[in-house]
Copies of this chain bind each other. A is one copy, B any other.
């Protein structure tokens, strides 16, 4: 990833733009936030990956998202959907549901959002999840089949599933730290890192599934490392950025447990 330095076009919510950009820089990618409808299509055409995060959208940004998704499809740019708080709020639920048919390379969300997006439940309260990750496995497989892309469910353990072309893969990723839940934007930034890894993997001819697993492993391992030195969320956020920057692939592999649970 660091060698490729993929350019990631983020259309994300206004709460987490700074930390999302800082995380991408620390992880070895190049961030750019381009939301205006007159610019978003042009930029998605040249980016390595695109993130669409529906947390706190504006009417104008939604137009930019439509333009970016259409351009990403036309130019073969992988795009990631983060359906923040879908299920609980009608506007974004309608948007995210409609975009399922536009070929997201990956969907990244918590369990409640995946359950809601798959039409199987009512969602959580905002960014919180009121469901266990395991409960979201069947809805995730259903979404992966419908979109043809990867679906990643983030929680105490993450699960990454592929279910297309007759192939079903499910990988459990165990890493992270509870303080990741006490810093805003860690999940949203993971969506951006997922877009970065997808962009780098496509360039290198590697599978999308492995890219999404690698993104979750990198972010989670950095959380584990930060949790070793920090007792509160302030220092944790600082140490997490540093670990995203300094961890080697070997250190990430030593920190994270991967489990193949393909059916």
Contacts and interface: CB of A to CB of B under 8 A. Distances in A.
Interface string A153-193: 00000000000000000000000000001111100000000
Contacts of A70: none
A242 interface: yes
Interface stretch (A15-23, A107-115, A135-143, A210-218): A15-23
Q: Which of A15, A33, A60 counts the most chain B CB atoms within 10 A?
A: A15
Contacts of A237: 22, 234, 238, 241
Interface residues of A, number: 61
A36 B91 contact: yes
B30 A59 contact: no
Contacts of A234: 22, 26, 237-242, 245
A14 B130 CA distance: 28
B15 A21 contact: yes
A184 B10 CA distance: 14
Given A17-B14, A18-B19, A233 B36 contact: no
Given A42-B90, A60-B58, A238-B238, A233 B126 contact: no
Given A182-B245, A234-B238, 19 more contacts: A14-B33, A15-B33, A21-B185, A22-B183, A25-B183, A30-B125, A30-B126, A31-B126, A32-B85, A32-B125, A32-B126, A38-B90, A42-B89, A230-B242, A231-B242, A232-B244, A232-B245, A235-B242, A237-B241
